[in-house]
């Protein structure tokens, strides 16, 4: 007659087999989850380096991809460079008269009246005023093509446009929000755009060295801001108004 194993030993063996099976399933699920996360991140890294302008067919499909009506990649957004006023004229050499910004601003402060500049005027002025060269690891692969601003309601977008490998237009930008208060205004950096990826403002720290060089270059023009001589900034579609009047002095 065959000998039967002890019931306790049989239960222990079955428990061990069950534990091994659960462990194997857990490992597969963990591997699948990690693979999905890596793929998701990889897609975003790919779009960091995509050129500005209208996306190609593949990129457009990825941007619009939805599951159960929910967009899977909400941070991936095309960058419409054609919305920047004056950009095409400046790049193609057509004349846009840049304003005498420093002198006009100083006169407005002296005589205590608000002054308005259009977006294309500021872009023409930046093109004449700034000369920024690409530095760092990208120096051999990219060339700065232009520095622009784009004015929207209560928001200024600061943009650096680069040419990658002599053909692709790549942009990085910071979005600065202007919130008007009872005593003036408040500035916040609330988001940024890199390639075809819209990211929260915290990622702007990655871009700050390039934009800080621009700020340092414009120190003279920004001095009235540092000296607290600007008491209000109104940003509207396509224009900005700088007001040196205190709140109580405005009509």
DSSP state of 166: T
Q: Judge whether 222 and 102 are in contact, CB under 8 Å.
A: no
Closest CA to 247 of 231, 228, 225: 231
Q: pLDDT class for 166, splitting at 50, 70, 90? A: low
Look at the pTM and tell me if it is higher than 0.85.
Answer: no
Contacts of 147 (CB under 8 A, 6+ apart): 126, 127, 130, 132, 158, 159, 160, 161, 214
Is it the case that residue 142 has pLDDT exceeding 80? no
Q: Is 218 helix (H, G, I), strand (E, B) or coil?
A: coil
- Residue 128: pLDDT over 80: yes
For 71-75, what is the mean pLDDT?
A: 85
pLDDT tens readout for residues 45-72? 888 778 888 888 888 888 888 888 888 8
Beta bridge partners of 243: 232
For 133-147, 152-166, 195-209, 236-250, which range has the lowest pLDDT when averaged over its residues? 133-147
Contact at 8 Å (CB) between 125 and 94?
A: no
Query: For 102-127, how does the pLDDT look when each residue is reduced to its tens digit (9 = 90+)?
Result: 999 999 999 999 999 999 999 999 99
Q: What pLDDT is recorded for position 111?
A: 94
């Amino acid at each position: 007659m065959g000998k039967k194993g002890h019931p306790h030993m049989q239960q222990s063996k079955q428990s061990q087999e069950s534990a091994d099976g659960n462990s194997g399933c857990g490992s597969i699920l963990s591997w699948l989850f990690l693979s999905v996360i890596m793929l998701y991140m990889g897609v975003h890294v790919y779009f960091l380096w995509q050129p500005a302008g209208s996306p190609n067919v593949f990129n457009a499909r990825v941007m619009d991809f939805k599951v159960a009506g929910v967009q899977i990649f909400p941070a991936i957004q095309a960058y419409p460079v054609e919305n920047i006023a004056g950009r095409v004229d400046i790049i193609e050499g057509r004349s846009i008269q840049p304003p005498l910004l420093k002198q006009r601003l100083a006169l407005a402060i002296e005589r205590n009246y608000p002054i308005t500049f259009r977006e294309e005027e500021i872009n023409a002025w930046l093109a004449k005023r700034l000369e920024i060269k690409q530095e760092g690891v990208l120096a051999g692969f990219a060339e700065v093509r232009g520095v622009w601003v784009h004015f929207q309601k209560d928001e200024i977008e600061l943009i650096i446009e680069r040419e990658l490998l002599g053909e692709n237009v790549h942009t990085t930008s910071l979005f600065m929000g202007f919130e008007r208060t009872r005593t003036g205004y408040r500035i916040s950096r609330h988001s940024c755009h890199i390639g075809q990826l819209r990211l929260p403002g915290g990622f702007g720290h990655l871009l700050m060295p390039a934009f800080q060089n621009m700020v340092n270059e414009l120190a003279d023009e920004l001095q009235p801001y540092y000296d607290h001589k600007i008491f209000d900034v109104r940003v509207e579609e396509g224009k900005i108004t700088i007001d040196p009047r205190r709140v109580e002095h405005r009509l």
